[in-house]
């Protein structure tokens, strides 16, 4: 008798009212660092969207990315020597900018000169100072929870 194996698929909320979501943009080569950042953000009470975990077989990738950026309250872009010039990363940053989302660049082994022009005016965070950003997230998540009550 064949066993049916159920794969637990993370369901994302259909609207923002279910939580404060942050889209994490990164290059595939930086997947491990991006997952660690997601875990740290989730420990602060926010939801995260990261493509390799949350896009499943058969999903329309561009459509899902579009939908999740729009749904998210902010976008974290992990800028590394690999990611700063990737088309997808720039596309995700541009979409978040167009929807007037908070965009936070996390710099990992790159200087401010590699921040995309469209977000150069935004305060970037060094990977070594990420705890400060995580505390800011906690504050924003708590404000959102207080507004819903």
pLDDT given at position 149: 57
pLDDT given at position 2: 46
Q: 70-122: per-residue pLDDT in tens?
A: 999 999 999 999 999 999 999 999 999 999 999 999 999 999 999 999 999 99
CA-based nearest residue to 77, from 131, 33, 15: 33
- Phi, then psi, of 105 in degrees rounded to 5: -90, 125
What separation in angstroms does the CA of 143 have from each of 33, 42, 86, 87, 149?
27, 16, 34, 34, 10
d(CA 90, CA 96): 10
Report all structural domains of the chain as residue ranges with CATH numbers, in order of start.
33-148 (3.40.50.10140)
pLDDT given at position 4: 44
Going by their DSSP bridges, the two strands 125-126 and 47-49 should be labelled as unpaired
Place of tokens 């729009």: 70
Question: Which alpha helices (H) appear in the chain, and where do they start and end?
Answer: 31-43, 51-54, 61-71, 87-98, 130-148
d(CA 75, CA 95): 10
Q: Is the pLDDT of residue 21 over 90?
A: yes
Going by their DSSP bridges, the two strands 125-126 and 74-79 should be labelled as unpaired
- 47 has which bridge partners? 21
């Amino acid at each position: 008798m064949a066993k049916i194996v159920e794969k637990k698929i993370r369901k994302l909320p259909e609207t923002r009212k279910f939580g404060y979501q942050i889209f994490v943009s990164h290059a595939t080569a930086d997947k491990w660092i991006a997952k660690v950042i997601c875990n740290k953000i989730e420990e602060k009470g926010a939801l995260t969207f990261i493509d390799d975990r949350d896009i499943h077989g058969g999903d329309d990738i561009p459509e899902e990315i579009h939908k999740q950026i729009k749904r998210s309250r902010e976008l974290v872009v992990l800028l590394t020597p690999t990611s700063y010039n990737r088309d997808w990363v720039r596309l995700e940053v541009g979409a978040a900018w167009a929807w007037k989302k908070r965009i936070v660049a996390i710099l990992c082994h790159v200087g401010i000169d590699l921040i995309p022009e469209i977000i150069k005016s935004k305060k970037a965070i060094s990977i070594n100072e990420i705890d400060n950003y995580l505390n800011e997230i906690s504050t924003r998540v708590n404000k959102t929870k207080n507004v819903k009550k």
